[in-house]
Structure 1
Amino acid sequence: MTRLAFGVVTHPGLRVRVLDPARPRPGAAVAVGPEGLDPAPALAELRRLVAAGGEDAAGAGVDLGDGFRSARLAGAAGDRRDAVLAALRVLGPERAHLLGERAGVLVALFGPAATKPVGAAAATALAESRWDALTLASAASDILGPEQLQTLLSACSGNDGIVGRERASRLAVHLGQIFADVPHPRRPALLMDLLERVVAHHAAGARRAARLAMHGKVDREDELRELYRHHADEQLLRRLRMTVGETPSLADAARWTPGPTDWSVMLQAAVEDAMAATVLLRTSVAVADLGTEAALASMTAQLNAAAAKVKGPRKLSGLPPRPGPYVRDLARWPDRADLARQRLPRARDYGVVVLEGVEELLADIPERVHGDLRQWAGRDLSAWRAAVPLSQARSPRTWTQPVLCGGAEPLSARQDGTEVVGDLLWLADLADALAAAHGHDAAEIAHGPIVPHRDWDPEPAEPAPLVPRLESVALALAGAAQLVSLGGRVSRCRTWAELVDGLLAGTAVAEALTGVFPLPGELARLEGAQVPGTTVTVRWARDPRTPAEWAAYMGNCIAGPYYLEEASEGRSVLAALIDGDGQITANLEIKPERYGWRVGEIRARFNADPEAELERRVQAWVGRLPVPSVRLPERAPRPVKGPGRRPGRLFREAGEPLTALAERALADALPELSALVRGAPHEDAEAGLVALRRAGRDELERACGGALDAFGAAGLWALTGVRPMSVAIGGLEPALAARVAPLVRDEPMLGSLRKLARHEAIAQARTAELVAVRLRRALGDLAGAGDTRLARAMARRPGTGVLCALTMAVTSWGPSDGLEAVARPAAVEIPGYPASSLADEDGPWHHARPGALELGADLDAFWDRIAAHGLLAPAAWLGRGGWPVLWQRACDGEGGRAAVWQRR
């Protein structure tokens, strides 16, 4: 007997022939048939099957003729549904009978509960080659009923390519993890919502590609820019000749400056160019979205409105310097479809050139003509807006750009809401049209003193860490399943977005991603090294967030609890192999051995095997890595027998009392915690703290800056001094409190402490504690960087606690530009009233030491700096009155917590 894949064992009298006898590896494709018959024809058919559908197809039991059937040896990945799906891709509906009875195929795909309507829907999907529908329905058969499967099979019509390359069996595992706690009636709606979101994501990508394809294949932007500038120069010379005569001398030209009339004429031409370029770009976008005929019909009113402003000859040879003639042609030419294919590829070039030219002209308007131009800037644009509506991204009620040349309030403040030329909203229209032509919803626009600042092709936002991506259903499910494996809990939800938000809001996920990985120096020095014989480079994971971000793209399990725990405790090292384009090719886990390193696991996207040659070279490279100089910890062997502390004893002893104390501490600290997440309502304080705990350094510094603006330095110091975890531990018996004291540290928890750290109110209190600690460290980073927001806050009654701690920190970091000595070298008596001394153990400086350490101060270096330079403080904090005035303000501002509530 031979063991085959999926728990099958051969019967007596049957013989197994391996397709590749030289390499009979686990999961290899085989032909199973009667003893004594020639296997050559069957093996030839098997070879064709594997070549077309991979080894997965062999596991479906395809009839190879002469009594032989395909199979795989034991050890194959996936299950029989993967094999049947792979085989059906090769066989199609015409030869599906080679898989055996129809009922058996349905059971393999959808389980024993499959009904005839499900079979009919599946047959339709097979006939239409809708493999996404079959794969997703097969995977979902474990969590949905037959009627729901039938709906799902019909819903995926025409959407092939959205599920991804993941096996159905793996999708089924992820679906089981995610929907385990979701009531059965809600499951279909959640899955359909996910499907719709992925379809919309793909549609947006296709729409962007179509819009980019409208751009001309030959870039003529530079040529057009020269034409536009030459035309502007010609118009300026024309105004000169109208003023001083047809043949002005060099002296006449040098003395002449454009007057108000000249400026109004040039500005009006620029406005008309911008309007024409906007309509031309909108027409290009419409053609990409709707097709030529429908787009031109929908744009008729806008084309006519822009064409009415075009002046000059109707027939021009070559590329016109201004976009107006192209708009006029599209508005009035009888056969507009052919003309659109010729004119619209230049829309993007006209948009860029006109936008640059208009902005340059507006910035050059001299102040001496502002008063004379206010009448022109006040021209009503209602007629234009009636035909050419404002882009959907803009609203007159929110447009606060100052009116050009002054003379009126911004559009958002005017009662009548009538748009005028000076509002420059037409310029935002042009930037938005350019952004739409590049596949964006709108341009990024910030109001400026003269013209608004714009970015019509902004860099796409980096995907949020841990948020499941919508490139495919498989990737979204893998990301959500990862969050569940990290301890996320599915709350009551009706949409996929609510499900993801609920998973991300849990404290268990934030706890699992806390701390750093120990990385041996021998490996750290190889960061970015190229694996010999390949094009990939190595990037090491140094904290749990890194593999979590990798997994969001890869769709594999590198961020699962097992891998994170092994890496946190130093028993393995995780890595990504990066190709030349900066994309991850594979993830790698390596483990230390006595004489070097070995590959624990290597996986490509969606847990697929990497290329064989890449895997071989990585294995060889890892085997040559230097032996760890420090012995990494091994998993402790489990004792066989004998007395000792039972597993979980600490949790049993401390869990209940610490949970009760943590609940009370959280309730007492709730107002401060809500303020710390910037005014969130009480019920959202936990989610806000979890978000801050997951935040990176830059996000924490931005949060600090916002809190400084809202509450001042004293208020922020008071808020970050709220420590519910420390308060709760302080309520325990001293011996027990000492054992759980590490819960307040910002480091991974091991053993029983890990279970405590993830338990209910303890997890919430620990999150609040760590957020406070990290915000104080971010505050220290702001001080070291000379942040202006911090300087402003320190000048306004900062309170002695934060002032002493920050001053000790900046002094310990050493003298630098921007620091001033506020006391003589070696002096411990600090100037100011009331008097204070660094040596006073009951004074503010002594009490500020713990806070200074949290800011990142080096107290040993602090005393060295005092001896050499004296106490140092940033000059930006001191103002005209120097340290004595600042110290007086700090003493007057001691009511920091009260100040918080006043500001709230």
Structure 2
Amino acid sequence: MAVRLAFGIGAGRDRRAWLVETGEEIAHDGPAGAAVVLRERDSDAARVAIACADLAGLMELGGPVIAGAGIDLGDGFTSARLAGASGDRRDAVLAALRVLRVGGAWRLGERTATLVALFGVTATKPVGAAAEQAMGEGRWAAVVLASAAANLLGPEQLVRVLALTAPEDVDPISDAVPSALAENLGEVLESFTRPRRLELLLDLWERVCAGQTAELMRRRLAASHDLSVVAALGARYRHFDEAEQMRTAGISEPTLITALHFEPTWEDFWRYTVERRIEDALAATVLLKTAIAVHECGIDAGLARVREEITVVSTLSDDGELERACRLVAKQSPLPARPACRLRDIDLWLRQHRPRNAAFEKLVRVRISTALAYATVVYEACERTFGSELSWRQCPDGWDSDALRAWRKVAGYTAPHTPATWLHEPLTVEDPAPSLAQRLAADAGTRELASDMLWMADLADAIARARGHAAAEIDGGFQIPCVVLEPDVPRPEPLTPRVDSIPLAVAGAAQLLALGATAPARCRDWNRLCAGLMSSGTVAQTLSNEFVVAEPVLAYEGAVLPGTAFRIQIARNAGRLAEWSDYMGNCIAGPWYQAEAVRGRSILVAIRDESDVIRANVELRAVGARWVVDEIKARFNNEPDSALLQAVRDWAGSLRAAEPEVDPMESVNVEPPVRNRRSGANPVREVGPLLREAARKAQIESESALRELAALAGDTEGDAKTLTALRRSSIERSTLLCVEALDGRPSILPRLWAATGVRPLAAAVEALDPGVLARYPRLRGLTADAPLPSQVLRTLAKDPDIAAARNQDRVAHRIRAILARLARTGDASFTAALILQRHLCESVLVDLLCGVGSCCGRVGFVDESDRGSVRAVGAARAGPGVRVGIVGGAGAQERVDAGRTCW
């Protein structure tokens, strides 16, 4: 009996076949679609092994499909695939030509036969010459498209298709299966005339190439930025900014008394800080615009586009500040602290009319490579300053910036954020204040002010464009605009054909036709064709179908496919199928699959990888009491990986088609009732569950405090295990961690102090019923940072929830004591942080000082009757009607609150 081969070919009775994978000879049928080598019956084992190795090497380059092309393997051997392979011979020939190239096409047989396999009856001499030229130039996308459209176009039209050229690194065909593309093209273009078919194909080619080119440019732009320096640059910027703030405040040697006397106002402090922020924001914006322009147009044309802005922004900042920003600082990033330094280097070269040679190009590319890093750091600094540090109550009405006015004269405004559309409320003391758009509508001569914060939108838009988006999304916000720098890409309507690639677009259109949509009679471009298909009412009706899924299969929804790291997703409705087909480029959302799924005859599944990308679609069917894989395809109807195919089949074989019925006569094991025995009072059994639940609730409420404490050890996620390491650390190491945190991030001081006041276990104990606390008064011993005195308390403390809460209590107690010690010793990091945080709410600052003082013995409370015995010297205003006196100074002031004085 002859071996049956793929594509309806027989091997002949006088030929033998050997499996490539094993070298085993097969007598008749073998694994469906398996690759084999063929030869006359008198072949020896050595020659068979050589032929199998040759074909296996070709398959590594072109995949299993290449074996069906009938490749000459030498010594009388040819390649083939067994019956059951998907596609047709055209797929195999194209895959083989990509590997063998034109020079090796002789191994596929006669030239005419090869062309006929590709183009059928339209394989004329001009078509053959155009095809060979396209293959020689590597324009395989044009060859595949022409082969798929051969039955729809004439020879002259095929020559035009074969002449198509895609931009570099653009592949409009992607990994399409030519036979599947041909089938979908036939369904979509069959109703049109040949000239109209060609117009639609050429238009689709242009649209896909344009879309892929834009996406490629976006990715290259995003990849051109060096974001590895963001963390180091952010630390450098903060350190420099803190030094400049100290310089502005006139503080050379910060002390605790200096910190208490320091009261920043707009005139002597904030207006300088704000102006520096605006200068940095404008410089970062222009630096990013320069990077984008150079990426799009090249060095010369790109710099010409932003030349005036570079000149203006380079001269905004004081030369002394820029010189200080460029100075190297030990253990910090060598990059300058301010973005204007990078623009000044470029501006100096241009103003000195130095040659624009390779050295200049290198200088420019090095400077703009960190543009996005500078913009990210500056934007975060602006969010801190205008979002939390500076209150609108401290901003005078209508404050402005000289730097902004100078830059606007040359930069103007860019859509979508313009004065006419800017509705954000200004950052001023006036409440409510009219927005720039409202003022402009009332008075056409109104000009923008820095308090309108529109310049911050310009920086956000530049960051978004550098990341490949059209602009940032801005919606409301308090004090500062609420900005989304990574806006979501708008998703098309379900079943809308996507033009990411030609196979995806054609498959989407073919699916709409299968669902009952009607192609418009007259359309010359692809968009009109898709619009006509989507306007059909049958599409919306189809998306409402709900599917029947058997419980044994539904139980695996979201589960991991056994033996892999992939995840199983099950279609419950037609909308899910539309989502799948939108990416996969197949017909899984077609009417036949939906009809079977609605009746529960088949179950449709997607296999997603770790990145949530669909790797394969699967159709399961019930056969008797088990489920089998009726069909499984990868993207564009390609064959899936063999390991994935086997894993899916094994999983399907483990499923039951129906739950077995329970025999009503089957005996049921009934456990005898448990006898309740009375026992004496047991605090662990009585209090343990109550305290555990209270501790769990208190921990949920103290998650923010947990993150602040864990951040001392470098853990930004707030893992409770980090506190265990902190608790076991020595006092010296814990102190060092606090000093480093205050030195690197002064803004952590008020948050850290607040976190040390959160004691989840103490809160849990106090939340217990008063009767329980009266019966077990020693429970409060759990909250002390000391060894537990009894076995009962030690047993309770071993509970995981109670132990975690107690751990946080003890760490908080120790960190607060360390902060008090730093305050008492006048630590420079603590004092500098205290000065830099005077912009916070005054009442918080008072609580902080009183708390630290009460711990360190420098500040305390006395009864009103004892005021005369307190020699208070030194004072600091802490808010309206609030005064705090410090021992050791002169001219103390005191505040009486409920009969007590803070001193």
TM-score by length of 2: 0.63
- Aligned residue among 239, 257, 261 for 1:254: 261
Residue 193 of structure 2 is aligned to residue 187 of structure 1: no
Note if contact 1:240-1:253 (Cα within 8 Å) is conserved in structure 2. Answer: no
Note if contact 2:400-2:449 (Cα within 8 Å) is conserved in structure 1. Answer: no
- Aligned residue among 452, 468, 475 for 2:481: 452
* Structure 2 CA distance for aligned equivalents of residues 510 and 249 of structure 1: 70
* Structure 2 CA distance for aligned equivalents of residues 158 and 479 of structure 1: 24
**Residues 481, 367 of structure 1: alpha-carbon distance in 2 compared, 3 angstrom cutoff:** closer
- After TM superposition, the structure 1 = structure 2 runs for residues 147-158 of structure 1, keeping only pairs within 5 Å, are 147-158=156-167
Residue aligning to 2:515: 486
Amino acid at match of 2:420: R
Residue aligning to 1:430: 459
Task: Give the SS at the match of 2:610.
Answer: coil
Residue 579 of structure 2 is aligned to residue 549 of structure 1: yes
Task: Give the SS at the match of 1:587.
Answer: strand
Deviation string, structure 1 residues 399-430 (Cα, Å, up to 9, x no partner): 33344436776245242475443443221110
Residue aligning to 2:803: none
Residue aligning to 1:717: none
- Aligned residue among 318, 322, 343 for 2:338: 322
Residue aligning to 1:885: none
Residue aligning to 2:186: 176
* Structure 2 CA distance for aligned equivalents of residues 87 and 247 of structure 1: 77
- After TM superposition, the structure 1 = structure 2 runs for residues 276-295 of structure 1, keeping only pairs within 5 Å, are 276-292=283-299, 294-295=301-302
Deviation string, structure 1 residues 481-507 (Cα, Å, up to 9, x no partner): 222222222224333233223222212
Identity %: 40
Note if contact 2:399-2:450 (Cα within 8 Å) is conserved in structure 1. Answer: no
Note if contact 1:590-1:601 (Cα within 8 Å) is conserved in structure 2. Answer: yes
1:247 is displaced (CA, Å) by 9.6
Larger Rg, first or second structure (1 or 2): 2
- Aligned residue among 564, 574, 579 for 2:609: 579
Task: Give the SS at the match of 1:559.
Answer: coil
Amino acid at match of 1:153: L
Amino acid at match of 1:526: Y
**Residues 272, 60 of structure 1: alpha-carbon distance in 2 compared, 3 angstrom cutoff:** same
Residue aligning to 1:311: 318
Between the two structures, name the one with larger relative contact order (CA 8 Å, sep ≥ 6): 2
Structure 1 unaligned blocks of 5 or more? 632-904
- Aligned residue among 209, 221, 235 for 2:219: 209
Task: Give the SS at the match of 1:109.
Answer: helix
Deviates more, 1:463-472 or 1:162-171: 463-472
**Residues 28, 346 of structure 1: alpha-carbon distance in 2 compared, 3 angstrom cutoff:** closer
Residue aligning to 1:756: none
Amino acid at match of 1:398: T
Note if contact 1:380-1:419 (Cα within 8 Å) is conserved in structure 2. Answer: no
Note if contact 2:423-2:436 (Cα within 8 Å) is conserved in structure 1. Answer: yes
* Structure 2 CA distance for aligned equivalents of residues 574 and 368 of structure 1: 60
* Structure 2 CA distance for aligned equivalents of residues 241 and 35 of structure 1: 99
**Residues 543, 630 of structure 1: alpha-carbon distance in 2 compared, 3 angstrom cutoff:** farther
**Residues 356, 580 of structure 1: alpha-carbon distance in 2 compared, 3 angstrom cutoff:** closer
- After TM superposition, the structure 1 = structure 2 runs for residues 45-56 of structure 1, keeping only pairs within 5 Å, are 45-56=54-65
* Structure 2 CA distance for aligned equivalents of residues 497 and 33 of structure 1: 52
- Aligned residue among 483, 488, 497 for 1:468: 497
* Structure 2 CA distance for aligned equivalents of residues 298 and 458 of structure 1: 27
1:630 is displaced (CA, Å) by 8.9
1:22 is displaced (CA, Å) by 4.6
Note if contact 2:497-2:582 (Cα within 8 Å) is conserved in structure 1. Answer: yes
1:606 is displaced (CA, Å) by 2.1
Note if contact 1:42-1:64 (Cα within 8 Å) is conserved in structure 2. Answer: yes
* Structure 1 CA distance for aligned equivalents of residues 187 and 13 of structure 2: 40
Deviation string, structure 1 residues 453-482 (Cα, Å, up to 9, x no partner): 111123444554322333322222222222
**Residues 623, 252 of structure 1: alpha-carbon distance in 2 compared, 3 angstrom cutoff:** closer
* Structure 1 CA distance for aligned equivalents of residues 304 and 225 of structure 2: 21
Task: Give the SS at the match of 2:87.
Answer: coil
Residue 54 of structure 2 is aligned to residue 25 of structure 1: no
1:432 is displaced (CA, Å) by 0.7
Note if contact 2:557-2:568 (Cα within 8 Å) is conserved in structure 1. Answer: yes
Residue 427 of structure 2 is aligned to residue 401 of structure 1: no
Task: Give the SS at the match of 1:567.
Answer: helix
Residue 349 of structure 2 is aligned to residue 354 of structure 1: no
Amino acid at match of 1:629: E
* Structure 1 CA distance for aligned equivalents of residues 398 and 413 of structure 2: 23
* Structure 1 CA distance for aligned equivalents of residues 493 and 60 of structure 2: 40
Residue 113 of structure 2 is aligned to residue 104 of structure 1: yes
Task: Give the SS at the match of 1:591.
Answer: strand
* Structure 2 CA distance for aligned equivalents of residues 583 and 124 of structure 1: 37
Note if contact 1:264-1:376 (Cα within 8 Å) is conserved in structure 2. Answer: no
**Residues 436, 367 of structure 1: alpha-carbon distance in 2 compared, 3 angstrom cutoff:** closer
Task: Give the SS at the match of 2:250.
Answer: helix
Note if contact 1:380-1:418 (Cα within 8 Å) is conserved in structure 2. Answer: no
Residue aligning to 1:792: none
1:576 is displaced (CA, Å) by 1.7
Q: CA RMSD in A?
A: 3.3
Residue 367 of structure 2 is aligned to residue 343 of structure 1: yes
* Structure 2 CA distance for aligned equivalents of residues 36 and 594 of structure 1: 45
* Structure 2 CA distance for aligned equivalents of residues 34 and 141 of structure 1: 35
* Structure 1 CA distance for aligned equivalents of residues 262 and 11 of structure 2: 103
1:81 is displaced (CA, Å) by 1.6
Note if contact 1:162-1:473 (Cα within 8 Å) is conserved in structure 2. Answer: yes
* Structure 2 CA distance for aligned equivalents of residues 37 and 396 of structure 1: 84
Structure 2 unaligned blocks of 5 or more? 329-334, 662-903
Residue 151 of structure 2 is aligned to residue 166 of structure 1: no
* Structure 2 CA distance for aligned equivalents of residues 607 and 599 of structure 1: 15
Note if contact 2:386-2:480 (Cα within 8 Å) is conserved in structure 1. Answer: yes
Note if contact 1:164-1:475 (Cα within 8 Å) is conserved in structure 2. Answer: no
Amino acid at match of 1:285: I
Deviation string, structure 1 residues 303-332 (Cα, Å, up to 9, x no partner): 212112132246522333322112111221
* Structure 1 CA distance for aligned equivalents of residues 372 and 127 of structure 2: 50
1:9 is displaced (CA, Å) by 4.3
Count of aligned pairs: 626
**Residues 62, 525 of structure 1: alpha-carbon distance in 2 compared, 3 angstrom cutoff:** closer
Task: Give the SS at the match of 2:63.
Answer: helix
Task: Give the SS at the match of 1:535.
Answer: coil
* Structure 2 CA distance for aligned equivalents of residues 294 and 469 of structure 1: 34
Note if contact 1:214-1:344 (Cα within 8 Å) is conserved in structure 2. Answer: no
* Structure 1 CA distance for aligned equivalents of residues 17 and 553 of structure 2: 46
- Aligned residue among 84, 92, 114 for 1:75: 84
Deviation string, structure 1 residues 54-111 (Cα, Å, up to 9, x no partner): 3433333334445554443443322222122112112211122333333332222122
**Residues 608, 256 of structure 1: alpha-carbon distance in 2 compared, 3 angstrom cutoff:** closer
Note if contact 2:177-2:637 (Cα within 8 Å) is conserved in structure 1. Answer: no
Amino acid at match of 1:289: E
1:44 is displaced (CA, Å) by 5.8
Residue 653 of structure 2 is aligned to residue 623 of structure 1: yes
